[in-house]
């Protein structure tokens, strides 16, 4: 591997001159610069990344900051990372993944104080997220994948949850479904203000109201066992449910398993739609899941591109939403007929009018509240 000394010998200049060409810290004549660059090309010399960044005081490293647990990254989360990494690489930057959660603000401040990162992309954003303030105080440029409650001074890209939920509900209603339950993330996650969980809860209430239907949301722990428990709770509250809308990949296979255990067929008895899901995950199920497919790769790419524009001084505030795309597979079909003893006409009257169910948009109250 060629060194700076090799370049200096071939170009017949001093090592310090090669350094000045690399860093721009002193003026060098164009003729000398051309000799040095030609020697570098001939030797296939790859300058140290930190040396390249000295002139601009940059590391050419950007961080992707997101909390992680023992489950690691699933296929859907990985798409965000690969999109971000590809955009960084195309621009000559390195992307470093750092597992910094909302509770790790002190660690984040230490990371920012080391000036190793030129900028940061923040994922898994909460409505009130202390990491944003910490990075702003440290002067680290940032772009969010997600949104806080107040975005007036922030650049972000995010999923358009309103449109995504509205299209998912419309798909099910178009198939004749009137008893639709939404399985969200855990109650603790919602209480903590995790943006997607909060926004989809509100969007589901609005979408169901738009069709004159009653919303029922059930929180679920992020596990197969959590999915089974959520489905059991949903059936206890709405025994005649015909469709389940889910945004919890860790729970969805537990939901499918519980349906099978109870002798309910998908989609003949119950239709299932998975939201913010990758095709890889959707196709693992039998039948394959109808899904609102996540634009994760595009959002990861767009976030890094927006960040790099900020670093180059050419980036205005960037705020953009992308909806998930409906991809119909085998898990949705026409609503099943009314259960024995149920008035067919009543089954098509909005539940809020019949009094058979009451609105429970939080999913936190006991059955029948």
Sequential DSSP letters for 168-215: HHHHHHHTT---EEEEES-HHHHHTTBHHHHHHHHHHHHHHHHTT---
Whether residue 272 sits in one domain with residue 178: yes
The pairing of strands 290-293 and 325-327 is antiparallel
Domain count, the chain: 3
Q: Can you tell me the distance from the alpha carbon of 200 to that of 177, in angstroms, rounded to the nearest whole number?
A: 19
Q: Can you tell me the distance from the alpha carbon of 40 to that of 32, in angstroms, rounded to the nearest whole number?
A: 12
Show the CA angle centred on residue 151, arms to residues 66 and 156, nearest 5°. Answer: 50
In a domain, 200, yes or no: yes
In a domain, 147, yes or no: yes
> Would you state the pLDDT for residue 71?
61
CATH of the domain at 30: 1.10.260.40
CA distances to 102, 109, 134 from 318, in Å: 23, 24, 20
Name the residue range of residue 302's domain: 61-159+297-322
> Would you state the pLDDT for residue 184?
97
Whether residue 130 sits in one domain with residue 24: no
In a domain, 362, yes or no: no
> Would you state the pLDDT for residue 57?
59
Whether residue 302 sits in one domain with residue 289: no
Q: How many residues does the chain have?
A: 369
DSSP 229-248: HHHHHHHHH-TT--EEEE--
In a domain, 9, yes or no: yes
With 0.85 as the threshold, say if the pTM is over it.
no
Whether residue 166 sits in one domain with residue 226: yes
pLDDT digits (tens, 9 = 90+) for 230-252: 999 999 999 999 999 999 999 99
In a domain, 361, yes or no: no
**Closest among 238, 235, 255, 257 to 247, alpha carbons compared:** 255
With a cut of 50, which residues of the chain have pLDDT below it?
54-56, 338-369
In a domain, 368, yes or no: no
């Amino acid at each position: 591997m060629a060194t700076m000394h090799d370049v200096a010998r071939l170009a017949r200049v001093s090592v310090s001159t090669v350094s000045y060409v690399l860093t721009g810290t002193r003026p060098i004549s164009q003729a000398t610069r051309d000799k040095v660059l030609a020697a570098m090309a001939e030797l296939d010399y790859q300058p140290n990344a930190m040396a390249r960044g000295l002139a601009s005081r940059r590391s050419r490293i950007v961080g992707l900051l997101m909390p992680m647990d023992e489950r690691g990254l699933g296929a859907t989360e990985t798409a965000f990372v690969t999109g971000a990494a590809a955009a960084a690489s195309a621009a000559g930057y390195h992307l470093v993944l750092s597992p910094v959660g909302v509770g790790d603000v002190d660690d984040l401040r230490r990371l920012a104080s080391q000036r190793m990162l030129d900028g940061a992309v923040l994922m898994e954003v909460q409505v009130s997220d202390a990491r944003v303030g910490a990075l702003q105080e440290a002067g680290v440029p940032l772009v969010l994948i997600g949104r806080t409650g107040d975005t007036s001074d922030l650049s972000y890209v995010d999923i358009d949850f309103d449109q995504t939920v509205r299209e998912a509900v419309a798909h099910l209603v178009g198939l004749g479904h009137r008893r639709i339950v939404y399985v969200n993330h855990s109650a603790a996650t919602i209480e903590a203000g995790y943006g997607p969980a909060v926004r989809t809860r509100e969007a589901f209430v609005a979408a169901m109201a738009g069709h004159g239907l009653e919303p029922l949301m059930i929180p679920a722990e992020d596990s197969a066992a959590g999915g089974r428990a959520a489905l059991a709770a949903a059936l206890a509250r709405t025994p005649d449910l015909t469709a389940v809308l889910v945004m919890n990949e860790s729970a969805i296979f537990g939901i499918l398993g519980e349906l099978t255990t109870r002798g309910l067929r998908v989609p003949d008895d119950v239709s299932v739609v998975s939201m913010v899901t990758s095709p890889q995950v959707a196709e693992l199920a039998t039948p394959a899941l109808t899904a609102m497919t996540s634009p994760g790769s595009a959002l990861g790419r767009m976030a890094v591109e927006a960040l790099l524009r900020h670093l180059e001084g050419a980036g205005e505030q960037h705020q953009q939403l992308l909806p998930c795309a409906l991809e119909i597979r085998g898990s949705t079909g026409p609503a099943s007929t009314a259960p024995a003893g149920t008035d067919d006409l009543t089954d098509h009257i909005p539940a809020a009018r019949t009094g058979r169910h009451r609105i429970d948009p939080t999913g936190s109250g006991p059955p029948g509240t």
